[in-house]
């Protein structure tokens, strides 16, 4: 079974925030490319993994077994996508953060 994967508006805002964070700290042309690669890594991981196997990733806190986290490696650290299996056939990405951030919101 293939799942439709969609980003909630808050998750899209998180992607823009993370992208902007990298751009703000860019000192070289290569640093600018880093922002593009990070965004692509997040979107690719979400599309590939969550469209095929959303149930295998770790459960997020709060007791909701349909709310889970996808770890996305990138460089020495990475990102975490909080998502929920909304109904059969659909996964909604709720938030995205860098692994060094304290929490989703």
- For the chain of 105 residues, list the mean pLDDT of each consecutive stretch of 10: 96 97 89 92 97 95 89 94 94 96 67
Sketch out the chain's domains with CATH numbers: 4-98 (3.30.2310.20)
CA distance 26 to 57: 32
What's residue 12's pLDDT? 98
pTM check: above 0.85: yes
pLDDT at 104: 57
Neighbours of 14 (CB within 10 A): 25
């Amino acid at each position: 079974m293939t799942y439709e994967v969609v980003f909630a508006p808050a998750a899209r805002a998180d992607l823009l925030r993370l992208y902007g964070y990298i751009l703000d700290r860019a000192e070289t042309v290569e640093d600018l490319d880093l922002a593009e690669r990070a965004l692509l890594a997040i979107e690719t991981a979400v599309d590939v993994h969550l469209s095929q196997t959303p149930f295998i990733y770790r459960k997020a806190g709060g007791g909701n077994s349909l709310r889970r986290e996808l770890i996305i490696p990138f460089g020495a650290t990475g990102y975490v996508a909080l998502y929920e299996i909304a109904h059969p056939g659909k996964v909604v990405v709720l938030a995205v953060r860098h692994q060094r951030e304290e929490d989703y919101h």
